[in-house]
Amino acid sequence: MRTAVVTGAGSGLGRAIAAELIERGYRVHVTDVDAGAADRAAAELGDEARGSALDVRDEAACRGLAESIGRTDSLDLWVNNAGVFFSGVPWEQSAERRQTMLDVNVSGLMNGTIAALGPMRAAGRGHVVNVVSLAGIVAAPGEVAYSATKHAAMAFTSAPSSTSAAAASRASSSPPSARTGSGRRCSKTSSTTPTRLLPSPAAC
């Protein structure tokens, strides 16, 4: 059975991605900084869901989860979905809010990607999907700091093709689509279709 990790899967888009992956035959680690939300979502999603606490800002915890899965199963897919959004012009936003967006949306996504690449490199296969946003392509007025974090996420996903090649894995970024717990709505029609795909030599 293929194994996937979804971050920020206690609610919203992450939970929907986890449900879809189970539907497609994956065993899914439903992770979230909110342990209760992760456990509740996993219980609702059934036997192939495993709920656990994971704060993506914690690099060691991301590595620990990836390595523990890699010891017993193949880690086939890691979805960096966890993200936080605060609207507003940057001069009216607190430094704490800007930092939280940077920590979760950028460092958290890097932590998850690098953690997943450990077992994926060892196995010579795997796929990392980074949930970004249209704000990662166009810096929307009123979402400037958030857009900056999503632009960084896009760059991290698309620039280091050598990383993907070295890992014999693939990395994709995807603007999401579904109406989710946050109440925001995106314009794309598919939540899991990658808009950029970096094929590795192994995939060619």
Could you list the residues that contact ligand NAD (CB under 6 A)?
A: 7-8, 10-14, 32-34, 37, 54-57, 81-85, 104, 108, 131, 133, 176, 180-182, 184-186
The candidate with the shortest Cα–Cα distance to 21, out of 83, 76, 84, is: 76
Identity of the residue, 74 or 107, whose beta carbon is nearer to ligand NAD in the bound complex: 107
Instruction: State the Cα–Cα distance between residues 40 and 14, nearest whole angstrom.
Output: 13
Is the CB of 183 or the CB of 201 nearer to ligand NAD? 183
How far apart are the C-alpha atoms of 89 and 39, rounded to whole Å?
A: 35
Q: How far apart, in whole angstroms, are the C-alpha atoms of residue 107 and residue 88?
A: 21
26 a catalytic residue: no
Q: Which of 163, 167, 174 is nearest to 129 (CA)?
A: 174
Question: CA torsion angle for 95, 101, 103, 107 (degrees, to 10)?
Answer: -140
Nearer to ligand NAD, 65 or 167 (CB): 65
Give least dist CB 117 to ligand NAD, A.
19
Q: Pick the catalytic residue: 6, 115, 119, 146?
A: 146
Catalytically annotated residues: 146
